[in-house]
Amino acid sequence: MKVKIKECLKEVPEYVAGKSIEEVKQKYGLKRVVKLASNENPYGASKKAIEAFKKFRDFHIYPKTDFKELREKIADYIKVDAEKIVLGAGMDGVLENIFKMFLNAGDEVIIPIPSFPYYHTLTKMYCAKDIRVSRREDFTMDVDAVLDKTNEKTKIIIVCSPNNPTGNVERKEDVKRLVEETDALVFIDEAYVEFSDCNLMDLVEYENVVVARTFSKAFALANLRIGYAVMDENLRREYMKVNTPFPLSTPAVNAAIAALDDLDYAKQCIKKIVEERERLKKELSKFFEVYSSQANFLFVKSDVKSKIVAEELLKKGIIVRDCSNFIGCDEHSLRISVGKKEDNDFLLNALENLKSEGIL
């Protein structure tokens, strides 16, 4: 190739999406396939959100850019000032903008591992270095180890709570100490916060804190790509400079507004998912070491290699996430999303069969 693509892209791994239900059906000739791999909300979006999306007709007109109505609804939902809220194309889009704002080549991003793989991808994309810090036994962030790694090149420190893939939350005192002892931006990812009984939103009072959330999980709008973040107003001004001019489409924004108007529906989904999570946790412990989770998935360790467990489950029509390729995970790590009761039972039944076949 004659064109010269930037060097650091060579280090960026290609994104390999998980297998789709259709692919697995075809490959193994299966009638029923259940996907418990992408932490989606199995109950689907609110009917009111779907209606709001469908009503839209003005496809030929560019969207509005200030998203005032959605920002005000979010402000009301999370009890912060609408002037501190920004939107992005999913939380992935928010993350991309933040990395764009803060990173020059050679800068450093501290990531407690294991965590959401896209942090590493983005860091490399901006020719920066991902500084990996091992978590404690209970998977919480080791604040002293993070602070030890901090220097003048550190521009962003990631706090993911509840953490993907381990499901644990961070203690507020720990994160507060981190925020107070660093000048770097502390990016708090609360994608799964609605499934948890605590949150770190208060910490946005600090000007070096951004708290980000998404409509992909509790609100079941993953395909519409709507994320948001709360930040200091000065930071917000800079964020608006790097955001693409029209990052969100109007029907998606309309659906998000309707989803917030139908909060009871989201609360019902959350309640069912949390109840199922606790039941599934108990049942899965017959097969694996299962960790407590405050998200809509469970992190488990298997005696047999996770790659084998995931492959064998696939043959039986269940897609789970083998985490052995997550930075900081070993070869026995799996993440299982909490599905509907009947889907979780399908999984438990398949595991029972793997046990009697001598595979587990």
Least distance from ligand PMP to the Cβ atom of residue 320, Å? 15
| Residue 34 contacts ligand PMP per CB under 6 A | no
Q: Which residues 206-265 are close enough to bind ligand PMP by CB under 6 A?
A: 214, 216, 222, 227
Nearer Cβ to ligand PMP (88/317):
88
* Contact residue for ligand PMP among 33, 86, 191, 252 (CB under 6 A): 191
Start-to-end C-alpha separation, the chain: 48
The CB-of-310 to ligand PMP minimum distance in angstroms stands at 17
CA distance 213 to 179: 19
Side chain identity at residue 35, one-letter code: K
Return the number of the residue (80 or 212) whose C-beta is nearest ligand PMP: 212
Taking the C-alpha atoms of residue 160 and residue 169, their distance in angstroms, rounded to an integer, is 8
Cis before residue 245, ω within 30 degrees of 0? no
258/297 Cα distance (integer angstroms): 26
92 or 238: CB nearest ligand PMP = 92
Which is nearer to ligand PMP, 128 or 160 (by Cβ)?
A: 160
Q: Which is nearer to ligand PMP, 295 or 314 (CB)?
A: 295
Name the residue among 196, 194, 108 with its Cα closest to residue 153.
108
Across the chain, the runs of DSSP E, i.e. the strands, are: 34-36, 85-89, 108-113, 129-134, 154-160, 185-189, 209-214, 226-230, 289-290, 297-301, 318-322, 333-337
Residue type, 254: N
Instruction: Scan residues 66-125 and list those touching ligand PMP (CB under 6 A).
Output: 90-92, 116
Residue 39 or 294: which CB sits closer to ligand PMP? Answer: 39
Nearer to ligand PMP, 161 or 302 (CB): 161
CB of 91 to ligand PMP, least distance (A): 3
| Residue with the two structure tokens 């001004």 | 237
Tell me the C-alpha distance between 20 and 55, whole Å.
29
List the one residue from 87, 131, 133, 160 that touches ligand PMP (CB under 6 A): 160
Cis before 63? omega within 30: no
Contact 111/123 with Cβ under 8 angstroms?
Answer: yes
Compare residues 160 and 204 and give the one whose CB is closer to ligand PMP: 160
Of all residues in the shown chain, the one whose CB is closest to ligand PMP is: 90
Shortest reach from residue 220's CB to ligand PMP, in Å: 11
* Sequence letter at residue 215: F
Min dist CB 215 to ligand PMP, Å, is: 7
Strand ranges across the sheet with 108-113: 85-89, 226-230, 209-214, 185-189, 154-160, 108-113, 129-134
Q: Is residue 327 part of the contact set for ligand PMP (CB under 6 A)?
A: no
Site string for ligand PMP, 292-321 (x = CB under 6 A): ------------------------------
* Torsional class of 228: left (φ above 0), alpha (ψ -120 to 50), beta (otherwise): beta
Decide: is 39 part of the binding site for ligand PMP (CB under 6 A).
Answer: yes
With tokens 């694996």, the residue in question is: 288
Min dist. Cβ of residue 353 to ligand PMP (A): 29
Contact in structure between 251 and 222 (CB atoms under 8 Å): no
Total binding residues toward ligand PMP, as defined by CB under 6 A? 13
- Of 107, 130, 170, 189, the one binding ligand PMP (CB under 6 A) is 189
Q: Could you tell me the smallest distance in angstroms from the CB atom of residue 24 to ligand PMP?
A: 20
Nearest to 193 by CA among 216, 225, 226: 216
Nearer to ligand PMP, 227 or 339 (CB): 227
Amino acid letter at 336? Answer: I
With CB under 6 A as the contact rule, the residue among 121, 164, 208, 293 that binds ligand PMP is 164
Q: Where do contacts with ligand PMP occur on this chain (CB under 6 A)? A: 39, 90-92, 116, 160, 164, 189, 191, 214, 216, 222, 227
